[in-house]
Structure 1
């Protein structure tokens, strides 16, 4: 283990040990930056507090930021209180520090449904439910709840989309700087990372567009906006 590494321990849940992983960034001096349990705040604590006596593992990546950059990214979010088990957990944070992508393999593994959500498939059942309710009050409540759910999804996706666009720009700058130093190998690696971010940005943009379409569908169903 070294400064700027993504480390994790296996934690217990409902008295069953090893159910989930708790991730953080090793500061290299006996401290770790991570989402602290209880406060749900990104803090720098002792490694002893982070491990709680458990074995420590290191997550490796074939392409990642250098240690100093990882530490800078981790420090930039100290004090953050935006923990969300599905969209912004400890693994999302640590992976973002290392690679620039907010990602949690645990969420992908334990909640595979998230990978299969199709916003277009959600809008029709909502529309049918609206048409099936008996009173305007019921309809308004259903629409309000649906719009609230869409708002939550949008607020989770949109910042990540913006962040991904920034990463695309950053990797482009790295590629240009590498070429100026005649380091074509580093430039190629940077462009590969840029392409991966671009692919992810395209996916997020598509999701945002679907959410916007859902919103319009809901509003039109209520005659809150004009017809085409």
Structure 2
């Protein structure tokens, strides 16, 4: 727990009604390799609540919906997805530029006339 929390406070939520531990464990195990994280529709709170009760809900997201509405949450989700897409594009472009520069350097190395070095 100490390593997981990294010196931050851990909050424990007690469910009024939850499923037996073996069901909770099986639900969690079933979703271990899942890569569909979404801050508004599939976050860690959705996951934990789903494992305990079978319902994927997030009280924090529900509170946000009360304040900014479903459309506000959908808009914020679109913004965050666009931001992620921009980051991925920049990272992809950076890798592509680095690959191109390395390719040019290798060609320069192959084509360089090092005969003047033989004089020394």
TM bucket (normalised to shorter chain) is 0.5 to 0.7
Gap runs ≥5 in structure 1: 1-46, 118-148, 150-228
Instruction: Give the superposition deviation at 1:75.
Output: 0.8
Q: Secondary structure at the match of 1:57?
A: coil
Structure-2 separation of matches of 1:60 and 1:72: 19
Higher helix share: 2
Hey, which bits of structure 1, 4+ residues long, moved more than 6 A?
Answer: none
Give CA deviations for 1:46-83 in whole Å, capped at 9, x if unaligned.
Answer: x3332111222211111111112111110111111100
Aligned residues: 71
Structure-2 separation of matches of 1:49 and 1:107: 27
Gap runs ≥5 in structure 2: 72-77, 79-120
Equivalent of 1:109 in 45, 50, 63: 63
Aligned residue in 2 for 1:93: 47
RMSD: 1.8
Aligned residue in 2 for 1:62: 16
Q: Secondary structure at the match of 2:12?
A: strand
Higher strand share: 1
Structure-2 separation of matches of 1:114 and 1:87: 14
Aligned residue in 2 for 1:210: none
Q: 1:86–1:107: 8 Å Cα contact kept in structure 2? A: yes
Equivalent of 1:71 in 25, 28, 47: 25
TM-score scaled by length of structure 1: 0.29
Q: 1:108–1:114: 8 Å Cα contact kept in structure 2? A: no
Structure-2 separation of matches of 1:63 and 1:49: 29
TM-score scaled by length of structure 2: 0.53
Structure-2 separation of matches of 1:106 and 1:54: 19
